Amino acid sequence: MLIPALDLLGGEVVRLYQGDFAQKMVFAPDPLPLALNYQSAGAGLLHLVDLDGARDPARRQLAPLARLSRELSLPLQVGGGVRSGEDIAGLLDSGVSRVVVGSAAIANPGQAATWLREFGPERLTLALDLRLEADGRRTLLTHGWQAGSERSLDSFLAELSGLGAQPRHVLCTDIARDGTLSGPNTALYTALVREYPQLRWQASGGVSSLDDIAALRRAGVSGVILGKALLTGQFTLPQAQAVWDSAAPVTTSQEAQL
């Protein structure tokens, strides 16, 4: 599945470079026209990042998100500063189909396990932003990449499993690639799909060409987040979908993940 992404700040569609609020570019004053274009082009899911909510949960853009939910038939996956069960419930009540949880889940796997049981794994997506270390460790970062955690991706997933919680959707970003149009870390996703085939991996960061989409398809991910590449016209969503559909035969295990 190809998943267009829009970052919202003050109701506008923006892009931050490497998560830096001081380095932003405004692409549209209103996300709805872009979202409608993606919907008509056949997108199956729209990924939204509430940057205001990420900085301050009290400023979460619930009204604009509810408007998008009303105006679109496209399901919404929304994240940005989700720190409590009340945050999750509020977003689901606004019409969001799936809520993205990141820093709060990484900081407290026990709480993450509770949320997975309370809301169900189909209503939550774990956002795992990672930095690849020289020794191969996949370190998880939190708070908009401003802080490192003591956990690796592997230890975090092991903790959840030990608590009897099994996530289903995982959005994984190699932060060195995000927003750079430098190409995705295909080797990383190939390894993750092989090591954790029960998870539906969403690849994020660095996609700049149709060849990148073909490579990620062959890596076996379930979805690809497309942000800056679509906004800057590197390719269109229909072009990307044609490549996704033809890049590799779908195996039985992949089909179950779509």
Q: What is the CA radius of gyration of the chain?
A: 17
Kindly name the residue from 7, 50, 52, 178 that is annotated as catalytic.
7
Cα–Cα distance between 234 and 100 in angstroms, integer? 26
Distances in Å between the Cα of 121 and the Cα atoms of 117, 248, 258 are 7, 28, 15
Q: Which residues contact 213 (CB under 8 A, 6 or more apart)?
A: 2, 207, 224, 240, 243, 244, 247
| Residue 7 annotated to the active site | yes
If we measure between CA atoms, which residue out of 87, 33, 30, 45 comes closest to residue 62? 87
**For residue 214, how many other CB atoms are within 10 A of its CB?**
17
Q: Out of 50, 52, 87, 129, pick the active-site residue.
A: 129
Whether 211 sits among the annotated catalytic residues: the reply is no
Question: 62-71 and 31-40 helices cross at what angle (nearest 10)?
Answer: 30
Cβ contacts of residue 15 below 8 Å, gap of 6+?
Answer: 7, 24, 25, 27, 179, 227, 228, 231
Active-site residue numbers? 7, 129
